[in-house]
């Protein structure tokens, strides 16, 4: 088998995309002015009437002739009799023969009429015809994005319909025999995959300001696929064909583009995202986008968005751009020389520096994108970046604010997810990355995190203090919770697992090196003289309690070490082994930080304790106690 | 009569508004996840299934048992027979007893099956259950604005519905006997006013990110108004009652709020915008907003928007803010000590400095807002600002870019409006402010404009050169057009106006001092020995040709001096008097600027010339010729 995709450099692919998409011609449509907010005018529009369209009072008072008031002053009041004026409110017409308005503040009413003590000039306090808008005047030029204030002038000048550019339509075709529509209530069976991609693409292109039209899932049948592509390219300005962009069995995208139109490239040098393609069918640009969600996202961000912008550039210079922020890498990142590599990161501000923490490398993990605050690109020809390198981050969430975010790196517990939820009530974000306990302590030492949740059992049988003293010196421990660790096993414990010795005869799933749970396992393996090499699956690492439980639930493992909450959540059985201290480590200065105060307020609240008790397996007696280390 | 409004300082009014509106409680609703883009979650949502929910191939290739490959290497190929593997594509399930995938790139097919030359480990190229998302894991916390990538993870974990906050609903009630709905096709008669305000308010609150609900126009009848207010305060979270906020005849807003609820203030110290009020009815904040569109806009920007933000602050920290830019005032602005004054400005970048040119002081002029690029506030207790003061501008248009804008200050001609339309085709803006010819030359001298359109008749009978030499020295004139000036008169010229002497017996409307047309008038008055003091309306000034024509059209004047195009546009008659040169003056360095090159390209184009010929009264023979002055 040979390498079957070419490797067009991203720059070149973008260049081609721009050229192809800039040829998209958008037509116009007529819409009601009242519905035209943010639409872009197709032509200039001119006032159909003047505003005001009659001579009008600019003040509440009386309309009269200025001549009557010529000799009026403080010493010579003039009385206007009934036939010499008309009472008017602001906006009322000024009728012949009147030519000025006297404000009511300048009038005194008496039995004969109104007394005036000021002379007036012609048109005083009067709005002449067309003061605001003159008939025939241009109200908006072409290619103007209509604002609320434009709507005001358009309606005031009786332009009730406007000719605007039609929205750019992007068609999205999900494909694949195994794909089922995720928006319906069908539960997928083994082998079926939910189509969440097409809905995500629709939302993405809509977030870029254009219209997304999602078509139904098409099976891997060349004729059906061809029919769907022909229909979508007729109906839309641009089409995204999802999956089938690589060359597996049933991957027809590339050949359909070749059969029905022209193909410009297939395979670009980005990672993830490589097997992307671009062609043209029915004069409509069509993108082949890979099925893996992370790959798909970066292809859409890097190519499809460029294509949309090129098309829109013909009519507007308002193109949505990602907000950006500079940040410093928390750790070294290696990357391939062959590709532009897209790195997802979480962000947090620690000691006035925004830190970017790389997360999730897998191309199939949607959650790594949902959890990421942004991404940056390592260009090809660069082998990687050192820790602390400055990188320019494309933000993925407009509500990201480093000052409002508490960064947590270290051990994972479900309680931390729940705290993230509580944080939102304070208008704050809680960003938590799971590296295991040691990873958190090292991140704290390097100044990359605010807190490090940790449950490291010292040789003296006390949790955390030994490691804090060794690696951090001066620091603070906030006591959080005691949690029960035990064996997570299938319902009914069919293999009758009771103690660590039993692990020699089962299919085990382990936690990653540096995690507190892994250390707990190793501590007990030694204590109970278990033969590590006989534990099948000792080298198979998962990074959270829940993912360990998920493996057992799915049947790929018989047993793992973890917390009760994870077993409960997956509907599994749990054999308690011991209880351990799960604490929060931080630098002493952070104790005064409002985010830490919020954290303390939450973990000591009745509401929070009740919520954890419902999950079970937790003891919060000492929650919130502060232990100061290092004198 | 007494001063009837109190004068609550803006700060205090904002404080009260925030307090009142922060008590708005938003409820939740359930929406389909696929429609949930940008909605804000009401609670945390947890995965209903794992993703993947079965052990799946991470690559195209074959599923097999890792044990079969244990001894395989380059020298010891292993052949897998038909019963030892299953062909899989990415995403396919891995069935028992298989536990790893060999990529097709690592396989060679032969007659017995597949040949492997690498050993594999358990779970190699396999996506374990829950690799992406584990059942029970928190996908989004509460109060999260849903992104396209959140939709991805929500759907992948089978969360097909989400509980989100309902949109904030702002009800808008237009009121007034004279008000008719502008969105319909009825032509207003004298005394009727189009209701464009309520549609503008709807668009404004929608541009702030909430829902606007416009109610039908209510007549000035206390019972009807009360019924409308009770209905809207039941149905909405916040209500805007338009007009009736002052105290003219039929201004019931204030008293209705007092009758049906509680009033907090009535009258605030901003200009324009003074007669605004806030109260609460049915637990719903209700704003009284004045009828004049500019006043209304600033009340909504300064108060209603604050109220909306306070309500939303409970659920999100993403509040839309006006983009801002620093600029330097083109001229002195005086302001009242009593009020915070809102000054509308046009903006342009001249010599690397962003210049703010104050425009339109009238509270009734919607066009001044449509034409403005932004506004700034002069606080009360400040008497005004000197020319060149630095001011912080709230931008009104997201497409404003000072680098893309050609600034024109000076004489007005309809040709300049048409150029503004052409400019949009180049992705550029043309910002033109009408001050008359002399105003333009002085602005050019002060470095506040790029070009000054001018038609100043010198004593030597030559246009513009004399003034350029006197005021500017070194500069450039781009010859633009010759235009016919004449008397604009009623259809049929009923007063038989033929020459300047006739002006002594008609109702005249003049142009402002410093305008070329005014100078042309004065030149001819002297030449033909007309008695200026006998011209009725000599002191009545309008600032454009069209506004002169509009006065004649409306019957408030018999005659004015102006261009043929204006007479044609208004369907009036025109008595030619002379032709004059309308030229473009600029600094020499600007000749190289791309915006000037665009300007030259447009005015010399066939298309443009044809468009002006259709209007009539123009001669473009010399258009584009460059005259360099000052050696």
Q: What is the pLDDT of residues B513-561, one digit of tens each?
A: 878 899 889 989 988 999 999 999 898 888 788 889 988 988 889 999 9
CB contact under 8 A, A137 and B537: no
Distance from CA of A586 to the nearest CA of B (A): 24
Q: Cβ–Cβ contacts within 10 Å for residue B464, how many?
A: 28
Task: Give the residue from chain A lying closest to B251, CA to CA.
Answer: A89
Condensed to tens digits (0 to 9), the pLDDT of residues A367-414 reads: 888 889 999 999 988 988 998 899 999 999 887 888 889 999 998 888
Reduced to 3 states, what is the DSSP secondary structure of residue A94? coil
Helix axes B414-423, B594-603, angle to 10 degrees: 120
Disruptive mutation site among B56, B140, B196 for chain A (greatest number of A CBs within 10 Å): B196
Distance from CA of A288 to the nearest CA of B (A): 17
CA-to-CA dists, residue A614 to A387, A568, A608, A609, angstroms: 42, 11, 10, 9
Structure confidence at residue A490 as a pLDDT band (50, 70, 90): very high
CATH of the domain at B46: 3.90.105.10
pLDDT surpassing 70 at residue A155: yes
CA–CA separation, B348 and B344 (whole Å)? 14
Residues A75 and A180 in one domain: no
> What's the burial of B592, exposed, middle or buried (CB within 10 Å: 0-12/13-18/19+)?
exposed
- Boundary of a domain, candidates B347, B371, B395: B395
CATH of the domain at A371: 2.40.340.10
DSSP assignment letter at A303: I
Residues B15 and B45 in one domain: no
Reduced to 3 states, what is the DSSP secondary structure of residue B180? strand
Structure confidence at residue B578 as a pLDDT band (50, 70, 90): confident
DSSP assignment letter at B622: T
The pLDDT of residue A206: 95
Mean pLDDT of B298-318: 91
The pLDDT of residue A1: 30
The pLDDT of residue B510: 94
The pLDDT of residue B52: 86
Residues in contact with B428: Cβ distance below 8 Å, sequence separation at least 6, in sequence order = B404, B405, B406, B595, B598
Residues B585 and B619 in one domain: yes
Residue B426 is assigned to a structural domain of this protein: no
Q: Are A17 and A128 in contact (CB under 8 A)?
A: no
Residue A431 is assigned to a structural domain of this protein: no
The pLDDT of residue A438: 92
The pLDDT of residue A343: 93
CB contact under 8 A, A297 and B149: yes
Residue A248 is assigned to a structural domain of this protein: yes
pLDDT surpassing 50 at residue B3: no
Residues A550 and A621 in one domain: yes
Residues B21 and B33 in one domain: no
CB nearest to A399's CB, from B93, B151, B317: B317
CB nearest to A417's CB, from B93, B138, B246: B138
The pLDDT of residue A2: 36
Structure confidence at residue B368 as a pLDDT band (50, 70, 90): confident
Condensed to tens digits (0 to 9), the pLDDT of residues B320-334 reads: 777 899 999 988 898
The pLDDT of residue B487: 96
Q: State percent of chain A over pLDDT 70.
A: 97
Residues B372 and B289 in one domain: no
Condensed to tens digits (0 to 9), the pLDDT of residues B165-193 reads: 999 999 999 998 888 888 777 778 888 88
Structure confidence at residue A13 as a pLDDT band (50, 70, 90): very high
The pLDDT of residue B246: 55
Complex-level ipTM: 0.86
Nearest to B286 by CA among B172, B397, B455: B172
CATH of the domain at A223: 3.40.980.10
CB contact under 8 A, A60 and B248: yes
Count Cα neighbours of A489 within 13 Å in the Cβ-side half-sphere. Answer: 18
Structure confidence at residue B631 as a pLDDT band (50, 70, 90): low
Of residues B318 and A137, the one with the higher pLDDT is A137
Residues B482 and B612 in one domain: yes
CB contact under 8 A, A188 and B49: yes
CB nearest to A546's CB, from B137, B184, B553: B137
Tokens in use for B221? 């009848």
> What's the burial of A484, exposed, middle or buried (CB within 10 Å: 0-12/13-18/19+)?
middle
Residue B87 is assigned to a structural domain of this protein: yes
CB contact under 8 A, A130 and B537: no
Distance from CA of A446 to the nearest CA of B (A): 29
CB contact under 8 A, A293 and B152: yes
Distance from CA of A465 to the nearest CA of B (A): 30
Residues in contact with B366: Cβ distance below 8 Å, sequence separation at least 6, in sequence order = A51, A132, A133, A149, A152, A153, A156, B196, B293, B294
pLDDT surpassing 90 at residue B39: yes
Q: Cβ–Cβ contacts within 10 Å for residue B121, how many?
A: 13
CB contact under 8 A, B196 and A546: no
Q: Which of B204-208, B411-415, B479-483 has the lowest mean pLDDT?
A: B411-415
Disruptive mutation site among B49, B319, B364 for chain A (greatest number of A CBs within 10 Å): B364
CATH of the domain at B70: 2.170.190.11
Distance from CA of A570 to the nearest CA of B (A): 7
Residue B47 is assigned to a structural domain of this protein: yes
Q: Cβ–Cβ contacts within 10 Å for residue B11, how many?
A: 13
Q: Which of A135-144, A569-578, B41-50, B362-371 has the lowest mean pLDDT?
A: B362-371
Mean pLDDT of A473-487: 94
pLDDT surpassing 80 at residue A122: no
Task: Give the residue from chain A lying closest to B39, CA to CA.
Answer: A203
Residues A447 and A480 in one domain: yes
Provide the residue range defining the domain that includes B280: 10-25+168-313
Mean pLDDT of B281-306: 94
Of residues B183 and B160, the one with the higher pLDDT is B160
Residues B200 and B304 in one domain: yes
- Boundary of a domain, candidates B71, B102, B127: B127
**DSSP H/E element including B478:** strand B475-489
Provide the mean pLDDT of chain B: 90
CA–CA separation, A583 and B491 (whole Å)? 90
CA A583 to chain centre: 31
Strand pairing of B193-195 and B179-181? parallel
Mean pLDDT of A436-447: 91
Residues A352 and A281 in one domain: no
The pLDDT of residue B331: 84
Q: What is the secondary structure of B16-46 as a DSSP string?
A: HHHHHHTT----EEEEEGGG-TT-BBSS-EE
CB contact under 8 A, B156 and A107: no
CB contact under 8 A, A424 and B143: yes
Q: Are A156 and B182 in contact (CB under 8 A)?
A: yes
Distance from CA of A186 to the nearest CA of B (A): 9
pLDDT surpassing 80 at residue A527: yes
Q: The tokens 């490797």 sit on which residue?
A: A7
pTM, 2 dp: 0.86
Residues A193 and A158 in one domain: no
DSSP assignment letter at B389: -
CB contact under 8 A, A197 and B152: yes
Q: How many structural domains is chain A composed of? A: 5
pLDDT surpassing 70 at residue B248: no
The pLDDT of residue B132: 84
pLDDT surpassing 80 at residue A437: yes
Mean pLDDT of A479-489: 95
pLDDT surpassing 60 at residue B247: no
Residue A424 is assigned to a structural domain of this protein: no
Provide the mean pLDDT of chain A: 90
Tokens in use for B132? 């992406």
The pLDDT of residue A5: 58
Residue B446 is assigned to a structural domain of this protein: no
pLDDT surpassing 50 at residue B281: yes
pLDDT surpassing 90 at residue B70: no
CB pairs under 8 A between A and B: 383
- Boundary of a domain, candidates A112, A147, A165: A165
Task: Give the residue from chain B lying closest to A39, CA to CA.
Answer: B203
Specify whether the backbone of A38 is left (phi greater than 0), alpha (psi in -120 to 50) or beta: left
Residue A427 is assigned to a structural domain of this protein: no
Residues B92 and B240 in one domain: no
Condensed to tens digits (0 to 9), the pLDDT of residues A255-272 reads: 888 888 999 998 899 988
Buried b (16+ CB within 10 A) or exposed e, A124-148: bbbbbbbbbbbbbbbbbbbbbbbbb
Mean pLDDT of B267-283: 90
Q: Are B509 and B487 in contact (CB under 8 A)?
A: no
Reduced to 3 states, what is the DSSP secondary structure of residue A363? coil
């Amino acid at each position: 088998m040979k390498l079957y995709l070419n490797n067009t450099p991203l720059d070149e692919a973008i260049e081609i995309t721009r050229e192809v998409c800039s040829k998209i011609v958008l037509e116009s449509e007529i819409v009601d002015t009242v519905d035209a907010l943010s639409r872009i005018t197709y032509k200039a529009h001119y006032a159909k009437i003047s505003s005001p369209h009659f001579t009008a009072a600019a003040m509440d008072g009386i309309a009269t002739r200025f001549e009557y008031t010529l000799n009026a002053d403080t010493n010579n009041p003039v009385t206007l009799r009934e036939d010499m004026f008309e009472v008017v409110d602001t906006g009322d017409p000024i009728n012949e023969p009147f030519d000025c308005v006297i404000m009511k503040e300048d009038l005194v009413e008496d039995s004969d009429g109104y007394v005036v003590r000021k002379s007036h000039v012609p048109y005083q306090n009067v709005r002449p015809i067309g003061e605001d808008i003159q008939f025939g005047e241009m109200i908006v030029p072409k290619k103007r994005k209509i604002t609320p204030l434009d709507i005001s002038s358009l309606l005031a000048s009786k332009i009730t319909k406007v000719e605007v550019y039609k929205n750019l339509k992007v068609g999205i075709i999900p494909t694949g025999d195994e794909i089922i529509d995720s928006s319906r209530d069908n539960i997928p069976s083994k082998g079926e995959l939910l189509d969440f991609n097409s809905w995500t693409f629709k939302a993405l292109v809509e977030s870029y300001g254009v219209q997304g039209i999602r078509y139904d899932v098409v099976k891997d049948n060349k004729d059906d696929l061809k029919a769907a592509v022909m229909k979508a390219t007729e109906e839309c300005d641009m089409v995204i064909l999802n999956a089938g962009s690589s060359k597996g069995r049933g991957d027809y995208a590339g050949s359909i583009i070749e059969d029905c139109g022209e193909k410009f490239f297939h395979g670009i040098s980005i990672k993830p995202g490589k097997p992307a393609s671009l062609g043209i069918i029915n004069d409509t640009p069509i993108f082949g986008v890979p099925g893996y969600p992370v790959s798909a996202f970066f292809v859409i961000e890097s190519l499809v968005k460029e294509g949309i912008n090129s098309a829109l550039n013909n009519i507007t210079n308002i193109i949505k751009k990602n907000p950006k922020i500079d940040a410093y890498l928390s750790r070294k990142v290696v990357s391939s020389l062959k590709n532009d590599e897209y790195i997802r990161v979480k962000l947090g501000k620690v000691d006035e520096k925004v830190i970017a923490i790389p997360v999730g490398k897998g191309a199939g993990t949607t959650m790594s994108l949902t959890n990421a605050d942004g991404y940056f690109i390592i260009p090809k020809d660069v082998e990687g970046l050192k820790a602390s390198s400055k990188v320019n981050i494309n933000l993925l969430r407009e509500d990201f604010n480093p000052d409002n975010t508490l960064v947590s790196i270290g051990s994972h517990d479900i309680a931390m997810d729940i705290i993230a939820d509580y944080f939102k009530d304070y208008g704050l974000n809680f960003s938590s990355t799971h590296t295991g306990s040691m990873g958190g302590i090292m991140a704290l030492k390097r100044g990359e995190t605010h807190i490090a949740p940790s449950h490291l059992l010292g040789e003296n049988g006390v949790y955390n203090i030994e490691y804090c003293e060794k690696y951090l010196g001066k620091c603070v421990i906030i006591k959080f919770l005691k949690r029960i660790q035990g064996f997570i096993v299938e319902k009914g414990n069919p293999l009758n697992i009771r103690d660590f010795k039993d692990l020699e005869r089962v299919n085990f799933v382990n936690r990653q090196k540096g995690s507190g749970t892994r250390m707990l396992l190793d501590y007990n393996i030694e204590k109970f003289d278990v033969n590590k090499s006989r534990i099948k699956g000792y080298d198979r690492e998962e990074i959270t309690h829940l993912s360990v439980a998920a493996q057992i639930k799915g049947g790929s493992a018989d047993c793992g070490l973890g917390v009760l909450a994870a077993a409960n959540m997956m509907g599994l059985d749990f054999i308690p082994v011991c209880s351990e201290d799960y604490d929060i480590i931080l630098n002493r200065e952070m104790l005064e930080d409002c985010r830490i105060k919020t954290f303390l307020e939450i973990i000591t609240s009745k509401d929070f304790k009740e919520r954890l008790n419902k999950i079970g397996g937790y003891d919060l007696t000492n929650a919130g106690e502060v232990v100061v280390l290092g004198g």
